[in-house]
């Protein structure tokens, strides 16, 4: 199964997360596309690019299912498998708590982690997995 992770291309935390997920994806299932890019536009997701909530959107290609914010992170953990699946226990938290935690980090991400540098994703192996 394949997934496309749409992320804020201007966000330092998002760029670091993309590198982390790419390095953790031993089965080469994940592809990455900035919310400001053509792939996101083709999926009508560009509205999330300027969103203050730091939305991460995950598209599961097998069925076209979209996941947003914290649910997108849970889907990524599921995709990675292995020990990362242990973190799926966070599903026991009520959705309102999960979303509150996600939005708190998202609102502060630029202040805490800064803006992304174009060089953040310059690794040749990662570039192969980036979609326009």
Domain membership flag for residue 130: no
Domain membership flag for residue 65: yes
Neighbours of 77 (CB within 10 A): 19
Number of domains observed in the structure of the chain:
1
Domain hosting residue 43, numbered range: 3-125
pTM score: 0.81
Domain membership flag for residue 132: no
**8 in Cβ contact with 35 (< 8 Å):** yes
Distance, CA of 116 to CA of 106 (rounded, Å): 14
Domain membership flag for residue 131: no
Domain membership flag for residue 60: yes
Q: Using one digit for the tens of pLDDT, what is the confidence trace for 11-54?
A: 778 888 888 899 899 889 999 998 888 998 888 876 666 666 55
Distance, CA of 115 to CA of 131 (rounded, Å): 20
Domain membership flag for residue 17: yes
Please give the sequence-ordered ranges of beta strands (E in DSSP) within the chain, or none if there are none. Answer: 3-7, 30-34, 57-60, 65-68
């Amino acid at each position: 199964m394949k997934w496309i992770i749409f992320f804020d291309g201007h966000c330092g935390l998002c760029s670091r997360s993309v590198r982390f997920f790419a390095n953790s994806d031993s089965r080469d299932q994940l592809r990455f596309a900035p919310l400001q890019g053509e792939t996101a536009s083709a999926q009508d997701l560009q509205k999330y690019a300027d969103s203050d909530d730091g939305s991460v959107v995950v598209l599961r290609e097998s069925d076209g299912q979209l996941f947003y914010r914290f649910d997108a992170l849970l889907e990524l953990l599921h995709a990675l498998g292995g020990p990362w699946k242990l973190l799926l226990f966070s599903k026991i938290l009520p959705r309102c708590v999960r979303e509150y935690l996600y939005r708190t980090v998202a609102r502060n991400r630029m202040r805490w982690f800064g803006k992304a540098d174009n060089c953040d994703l310059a690794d040749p192996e990662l570039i192969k997995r980036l979609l326009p």
